[in-house]
Amino acid sequence: MANERERLETERRRTEEEIARLRSYLEIELERGAGEDEDAPDTAADIYEREKTLALIRTLEDKLASIEHALHSTIVGQYGICERCGKEIEPGRLEIMPHTTLCVRCQAEAERQLGRRRVRSDDDD
């Protein structure tokens, strides 16, 4: 269990560092762009890059929340157990994604359900 916790702590540090790096980059880009009178194509490209950076930050923040959740699972003795079906998560999956809380089968089902919700939401619009 200590080995898993160490891996998660390392992953948390890396994720936090990447978030900090991206936020710093975004701040510099915003300061750089604030004082310049740019033409429309440059401005559009800058906005696109900023949006892309914001999306990466959001994704990493979600990952960080998953890591925190997995760390809590190590404390309560539930690490490596699928939260949905209660079966053991395959060691290979945990090796690749130490912060996962679902086995492959349950993750696929969750993604299918999410896809169905998105389709219904799009149909409502």
Give the predicted TM-score (pTM) of the model: 0.78
Question: What superfamily would CATH give domain 2-124?
Answer: DksA, coiled-coil domain (1.20.120.910)
27-65 residue pLDDT tens: 988 887 665 555 666 778 888 989 999 999 999 999 999
- Cα–Cα dist 61/67, whole Å: 10
Residues sharing a CB contact under 8 Å with residue 104, sequence separation 6 or more, in sequence order: 90, 93
Contact 83, 66 (CB under 8 A): no
Tell me what pLDDT residue 42 has: 74
Q: Where are the domains of the chain?
A: 2-124
Provide the residue type at 107 as one letter: Q
CA atoms within a 13 Å half-sphere pointing along the CA-CB vector of 2: 0
| Tokens representing residue 1 in the block | 């269990």
Q: Is it the case that residue 91 has pLDDT exceeding 90?
A: yes
Secondary structure of residue 43 in the 3-state scheme: helix
